[in-house]
A and B are shown apart, each in its own frame.
Chain A
Amino acid sequence: MMASVSTRANAMPRRTILLGFDVSQWLAMLALAVVIVLCVFPFWWTISSSFKTAQEILVGTPKLFPRSLNMVNYDYILSFPGINYIGMFVNSIYVTSFTVILYCILCVTSGYGFARVDFRGRDAIFLGLVLLLFVPQAGGLIALYEMMDKLGLRNNLNGLVLYFASQITVGAFIMRQAFLNLPRELEDAARIDGAHTFQVLWHIAIPMVTSAVLVITILEFVNVWGEFLVTYTMIDNQQRMTAAVGYAMVAASVVTPQLSIAHLANLSIYGTSDASAVILLLPAVLIYIGLQKWFVQGMLEGILKF
């Protein structure tokens, strides 16, 4: 163990340094390591269980690792007649990608409008938008159901896209903040050269706020991919169900006895529900991990200053 002794006049207390960190830092790292393990464990358990056969799952002592990467559960759910796993996954991709695209367009344009264009009522409208977040949602979902039914958008994936993309408050807020933080000189220079508002927006403003756009993209993708309540309420038709809801509904039901016993012997309901869970969570987690560098950078760049 190395001890470092302070030689400064205002003698700081002696600290024990081990491998470059002192005691309190080691404790902090330990605590954080525990938190990391707790966060990752359920997630790891699900992935590992999805590769287990029934015999491995239905034992007295659960094991952390599967015996091998057994694809039995995946084969079962993907080829199960009557439940369209791939179809539901495609529905999820459809809803999520169109929603994210529409949402980004709406938030970027309205954010820029609120930040840089001077028009009557601008601040009042923006304030209204923010305050409406606090207004009581008296049966909002119920009224929404009624309205979308009348508009024919209810049992409909496009209706979902429109609804999810319409919640612009947070996104517009973030984009407006990002645009406000841009230096005006570039835009002014462009205007002097004769550019009109849309050209300035497209060629100058947007390229400078890409990290903010990425932040709202990730937030919206993750929210819509896993969205459960509204989808479950609005959609009855199984063909149009998204994965987030459909997989949960399937997992909740009992394994059908239509299969041969031998086949059944290799599966357990936990294994199959874990397999569907893995398929469902992979896109969200991969997108988050892939883009998290920009996500964190965007946050730290003070987009969300208080």
Chain B
Amino acid sequence: MSVGKSSVDQARAQGGVATLREFGRQVQAVRKQRWGDPTGYLLIGPAVILYVVFNVYPVFRGLEMAFMDMQYLKPASANFFTSFNGLGNYEVMFQDPEFLHALKISVEFSLLYLPPAIILALLVAVLIGAMGQNSVAIVSRVVMYIPVVIPISVTMLMFKSLYDPRLGYLNYALTRLPFISRGPDWLSDTKWALVALAIATIWTRFGYFGLLFLIGVYQINGELYEAAAMDGASNFRKFWHITIPALRPIFVLILVLTGGILSATQEPLILTNGGPGDATTTLGLYIWNTAFQIGNLRVGYAASMSLLLGVVQILFAFIVFRFLGLKSDV
């Protein structure tokens, strides 16, 4: 499309209407340069609008709520200006013994759950990768993801029945071992409840990490292993110097994704409802109870705790990126 004097002169020579038409054409050309193909907006429009309504707006509203003393059962407190209380929620939070206890439980839970889950997933993925197209490997691949597929409420119900001290299979299997005479009271003993929760969560989620690791393992160039073998490398050295560095971006991805485990809510809710007592009340569960179950439903307070958790997650992701980087070594 020629945007120059000649076309304008030609149009002017033809008279009024033609000038307008030419002007219109030139405007369209410029608009197309600046805006591109408008069907793009049509294609992404519905999805983005729905996303903004249900996922972006709540973030801002939640941020607002974190600095208000909003209580859901008192509708008057829903207005930002009437119940704004600055950092008041945070002052209360750090004095709140239940909050501090829930924080401790969340940290303990993460430490009980994350390392075993990641290590187990890594080992399984490496073993499957090493087996190639072996039928055991193929079955493992499918089976390892099944616990992820099962609805969380089913998983927790299953474990409830397995953990029963007298009727559950776990204690029965343990007592078959020569050195154990009585299995622990998994869900009623404050010492074991968190471990029980961690085991159930590891069972449910390790397949997901395993699949991510497996994708990474499959992308490693096999020739690297052959070259290492010819140089006399043992299996362990191959694992340590080839596999692990190649999987670094996946470690990063997993660690960033699992920052959210601090706010785990549904697992403790279904398995133990925070019990016995408050031995398994994670921070996520405490926040949820504060907002939806207890007393005046202090959603402002709950939102401020959520915000704190969210900031911790971001910091954690930032630290992970800083120290582990984004790109693979291999």
A49 and B44 within 8 A (CB)? no
Q: Say yes or no for A162: interface residue by CB 8 A criterion.
A: yes
Q: Write the A204-220 contact mask toward B (1 if CB under 8 angstroms, else 0).
A: 00000000000000000
Residue in B43, B128, B154 whose beta carbon sits within 8 Å of that of A277 in the complex: B154
B246 and chain A: residue at smallest CB distance: A306
Q: Give bound CA distance, A213 to B329, whole Å.
A: 31
Q: Point out which of A12, A106, A197 has the most chain B C-beta atoms below 10 A from its C-beta.
A: A106
What 0/1 pattern do residues 136 to 170 of B give for CB contact below 8 A with A? 11011111111111111111111111101011110
| B5 interface residue per 8 A CB criterion | no
Q: What is the size category of the interface that chain B forms with chain A?
A: 35 or more
A110 contacts B310, C-beta separation under 8 Å:
no
Interface pair A281/B154, CB less than 8 Å apart: yes
Q: Name the CB-closest residue of A to B256.
A: A134
* Contact A284-B149, Cβ < 8 Å, known A106-B47, A132-B55, A228-B270: yes
Q: How far is the CB of A173 from chain B (nearest CB, A)?
A: 12
Known: A146-B78, A229-B265. A248 touches B57 (CB 8 A): no
B134 adjacent to chain A (CB < 8 Å): yes
B299 touches A139 (CB 8 A): yes
Q: Is the interface of B mostly helix, strand, loop or mixed?
A: helix
Interface flags, B258-295, vs A, CB<8A=1, else 0: 00000101100110000000000000000110011000
Question: B153 to A135, Cβ gap below 8 A?
Answer: no
Interface check B90, CB cutoff 8 A? no
Q: Mark A185-202, 1 if CB is under 8 A from B, else 0.
A: 000000000001110010
A: contact size bracket: 35 or more
A132-B56, A166-B55 given as contacts; is B40 within 8 A of A273 (CB)? no
| A36/B139 in contact, CB under 8 A | yes
> Do A42 and B309 form a contact, CB below 8 Å, given A139-B303, A166-B53?
no
A137 in contact with B62 (CB, 8 Å): yes
B25-39 contact mask (Cβ, 8 Å, vs A): 1 or 0: 000000000111111
Cβ of B61 within 8 Å of any chain A Cβ, yes or no, is: yes
Is B86 among interface residues, defined by CB-CB distance under 8 A?
Answer: no
Beta-carbon contact of B309 and A136 below 8 Å: yes
A143 and B149 alpha carbons, distance in the complex (Å): 28
Chain A residues whose CB sits within 8 angstroms of the CB of B144 once the complex forms: 35-36, 39
Residue among A24, A25, A119, A134 with the most chain B CB within 10 A? A119
In the bound complex, residues from chain A placing their C-beta under 8 Å from that of B288 are: 141, 229, 233
Among B43, B55, B229, contact of A109 (Cβ-Cβ < 8 Å):
B43
8 CB < 8 A contacts A-B: A58-B167, A136-B310, A139-B304, A140-B306, A141-B58, A280-B153, A300-B215, A306-B215
Q: Which residues of A contact B (CB under 8 A)?
A: 10, 12, 24-25, 28-29, 31-33, 35-36, 38-40, 42-43, 45-46, 49, 57-58, 60-62, 106-107, 109-110, 112-114, 117-120, 122, 125, 129, 132, 134-147, 162-163, 165-169, 172, 196-198, 201, 222, 225-229, 232-233, 244-245, 247-248, 251, 270, 273-274, 277, 280-281, 284-285, 288-289, 292, 296, 299-300, 302, 304-306
